[in-house]
Each structure stands twice: as structure tokens, then as C-alpha cells.
A and B are shown apart, each in its own frame.
Chain A
Amino acid sequence: MKLRQIAHSRAGDKGSTLNVSLIAYEARTFRHLEAHVTAERVRAHFSEFVQGQVTRYLVPSIGAMNFVLQSALGGGVTRSLALDAHGKSLSSLLLEMEIPDPPEMPGDDGS
């Protein structure tokens, strides 16, 4: 499945560094996301953009993680030639990532 089915996201920029959050709609899928959406997978998924380090930070208390991608925005909003110089639309790219379906859990109603 695509991440978009079980998580939401927002991207932000500081200079040429991009951050993209990934937030589980339901707390119970957070561990599944943690297992499958690693910094390495995100680096590969964003390989057309990121030139520097990719770091993942976990915030289990809100069922979320935050990816920080260094040198990912072509010099930042002020000097990038890109149509989306902020990289704001990159949250949608993260949500296109394919991961295995989460294991079925008691109480799932199939929705």
C-alpha cells in the first residue's frame, strides 16, 4: 500500500535543508511505519533531490517521525531554479512510497 493510506505529512524548509514529517493516522500503525520507513528508504525515495545526510527522528508520543534531508533543495528557496523552490510539495512524494500492508489487528473494521 501507499503511505498515503495510513499516514499524513507536511514538508518544511530551512535554507537547503528539507524536513518531512510522517504521521500515523492511527497510533497502532506507528510501529509498522517505524519498521518500514527508514532513513535509508527515504534517501532512496528522494534520490533525485537529496545530496546530503538523511536523518530520522522518532516522536512516538504523537505517533510521528520526522525526516531531515540535508542539501535537498538546490540552495534553498532564495536561489533554487525549481518550480517548487520551498520543496513544500515533497510531502506528497513521501506519501507515494509503497510499504507492505500492516498486519491485521483485533478490532479492525476494514475501513
Chain B
Amino acid sequence: MKTTVRIGCGAGYAGDRIEPAVELAEHGRLDYLVFECLAERTIALAQQAKAADPAAGFDPLLVDRMNAVLPICRRNGVRIVTNMGAASPEAAAAAVRRCAHELGLIGLRVAAVTGDDVLATVKNGVFTVAETGQAIADTAGTVVSANAYIGAEPIVEALARGADVVITGRTADPSLFVGPLMHAFDWRANDWPMLGRGTLAGHLLECAGQVTGGYFADPGKKDVPGLARLGFPLAEVSRDGAAVITKVSGSGGAVTVRTCKEQLLYEVHDPSKYVTPDVVADFSQVCLQQDGSDRVRVSGATGMARPELLKVALGVRDGFIGEGQISYAGEGAEARARLAAGIVIERLNLRDLDIADLRVDVIGIDALHGSDHERARPRPYEVRLRISGRTSTLRHALGIGGEVEALYTNGPAGGGGAVKSAREVLAVLSTFVPRDLVPCRVAIEEA
């Protein structure tokens, strides 16, 4: 049995770069390559795509990614685990088999993990929305998707049954990494300290470039070389759960104690209770040590018993947002932007549009962090007015951007570069369901 597993992360979100994954597959001497591509909202959007077309609903870049890495992974013995199945793991698995067939990779074993879709369960049960306390049954018409965050166990089953590629839907991000580690090291599903350590490795890897120097650089304070060629991370994980985070030699970026610290706390609340479907991990005593260039040794995580309830991401229809932007420059730019905003607000009132919230930002002054005037000085040469509002219909949402655009011929002097947009809002809320209501299934077919 192996003493060290090398596991890489080939994507940290749905639209991530593809070449770093190819580099990892080619030169990472990997056992496993994981693609994490499902944000809170992505799964809800995928469910809508699936409703429109049953053959859709999986990651739009799935085929591009598989075409890029499958031949290399097959040659190098790298097994792939991903949540790119989104709302349609079976359709995604079929697409991967077609892809393998076209590449001549006959016999490739592709697993689909299903069971995370709990829409019928939550609509017909007595569940409440965690954020609002409202009963889901009372608002069932607006709930378009419900996907439970599932854990590592179905992945372990798929790997034990010989899958070369494992495609899941709403598997929790760190569980995509914990699954291969449990399989490789024969960690039990109730070995909480080990699962806590595996979860830490997975958490550090799951956002790909965010641990290798991406989202870190701040010139003069924190410089990072080669960001256009950022290498994605891999972990060398030992049987005892300790890990070294590193990347392919010669790739861009940097793996330092500092890059790892930033990622360690990213999207974490209480560091001593990081809840996943597999374990409640404890990162509060973690130790990070530089272990040579672009190598950081990670130890000290542990864990406690997993939760009995699984979190569910609910996609809920929540009206529309309309937006318009226009720029002003030179002396008096801000005054003209403020005048323009006043005109648009008055126009929206005159037209009696049904707008629940309206927000005015002057980009360059107060858009990101509010109107604290000490922070807002000195005044910039140019500003951009942005007006956004929430409406109950698409027509009214379009009215907001329309009024901003009409500033061209009706507003203050020198406005330029107007753009407008309107979109439906798919809010993501949450609920919790007992795990025995979320039975998962693994189906494996060969290309």
C-alpha cells in the first residue's frame, strides 16, 4: 500500500484556466487530479439549464477539460475526481465516455455519483429555509433546485470499484480530496482525526491557484512571480494525514507559509469547527512550515464526529436586477455623476416602475466601501456612475438601465460609455436534511 499520495487540483472554479491542469497531469507525478467547479450558485443555474434541456446541466467546460487531460492522465495513471457533473452527473459521465471514445481511450471507466438532488424531498417534507425561517412547502413555487452537500463516501466506492474518472454533483469541495485519500489509505469513515487532516489538505487545494500565489499579490508588499503562468497546487499526503503543499517545478506563482495561511482561513468561520459532510474539522492548532522552495509542510489538524444533518443549497427565484453605468471625467466629474443619478431616480419615479431597492454607486468614490469621506480622498480624474435596482419583472429591470442610457441625450454634459443589463435573480439559500434522506448511488460504465 502506498505511503504517500500525490493529489492535485486542476480547477478552483467553473471558469478556471485549463493549461495548469495539463501541466499538473503531465509533470505532477500525480495519483489523483481533482477539478472543483461548483460554487453555491452554479448548481442552481445548472438545474435551470437541465430543466430546459435534459442533456445539459453539467459544466460547460467539461469536454474541453477532458479533451485536454484525459490522454495524459490515462498514460500517467492519474485518476480524475470532479464535481463538474453539477445538476447532471449521468449526462456528464456519458459526455466523458464519448470524449474518451473519440480519443481512442477504450475501456476508460467513468463513474457517476447521484443522489444529491433532494428537490422532491424538501418540497414534500417539513423543512424551513435557514436564513428566513420560512417553510419551504409554503414557497415551493419559487424553489427551483435543492442539492445536498454530500461527502466522500460515494467517491471511495467509485474508486474501489475501479473508476478512472469520478463525476459527481454537489459533493462538498474538500470531500473531493478526502475521497481519494480515504480510498488510498484505507481511512475509516469514522476516523475523525484523519478525516480532519484530509479535509485540511482538501481545503488548502480546493481553490487551485489561491494557494500557489493567486489572489495574493500586492506589489511592494507581497510580490509573486509568473502569475500569467500560475502553477496549480498538489499535495503530497502521508498515511498519517500530514501533507506538503507544492506545485510543479518551473511553473509560475509561489507556495509559501503566507499563501497557505491566507487560504487556510478562506471561507472559514470558526477554525476549530469547519463543518463538512465527512467530519467537523479542527484547524485551530495547524502548524505550517516552509520545507524548501515552494513547499509548505502542513500538520496539526484534527476532527470530530460528522454532522447528522446535511446542508442543502436551495436555488430560489427572487425577482430581477436591472443595472446601468455611465462615466464622467475631468473637473466636476463627480458633481455631474451625482446630477445624473438624481435625474435617473426622478425618472424611475415618474415612470412608476416597481423597484424594491435602488442603489447608487459612484465608482472611483464610494462603490466598494461606502461613503466614508476620509477614505474617498483624493478625488479621481474620472468616475463611473452605477445604478442598480431590484424589481419584480424583467420589463421594470430593463427600465433601470434604459434610464441610465438615456442620459446620453438627456443628462449632464460629457457622459460616455453607457452600458445596461438586466437579469433574473436566483438566490441561493439553505436548509438542512437528515443524511438518511440522501441516499447516494454510484454507476460505472466503460467507454
Q: Which residues of A contact B (CB under 8 A)?
A: 4, 8-10, 12-17, 19, 21, 23, 25, 48-49, 55, 57, 59, 61-64, 66, 68, 75-79, 81-84, 89-90, 92-93, 96
Contact = CB atoms under 8 A, between A and B. Distances in A.
B427 A75 contact: yes
Interface of B: 40-41, 44, 131, 215-216, 218, 221-222, 257-258, 261-272, 283-288, 300, 318, 321, 357, 359, 361, 363, 367-372, 375, 386, 388-390, 425-430
B269 A19 contact: yes
A79 B266 CA distance: 21
A57 B368 contact: no
Highest count of chain A CB atoms <10 Å: which of B221, B267, B321, B426:
B267
B375 A96 contact: yes
27 contacts: A10-B263, A12-B265, A12-B268, A15-B131, A15-B428, A19-B268, A21-B266, A48-B372, A49-B370, A57-B269, A57-B272, A59-B284, A61-B285, A62-B264, A62-B287, A66-B271, A68-B269, A68-B270, A75-B427, A76-B427, A79-B318, A79-B390, A83-B363, A83-B368, A84-B367, A92-B369, A96-B375
A29 to B, nearest CB: 14
B258 A8 contact: yes
Contacts of A12: 265-268
A8 B285 CA distance: 20
Contacts of B321: 79, 81
Contacts of A96: 375
B267 A14 contact: yes
Contact of A64 (B216, B265, B318): B265
A81 B390 contact: yes
A74 B284 CA distance: 29
B270 A57 contact: yes
A61 B428 contact: no
B283 A59 contact: yes
Contacts of B41: 77-78
Contacts of B388: 81
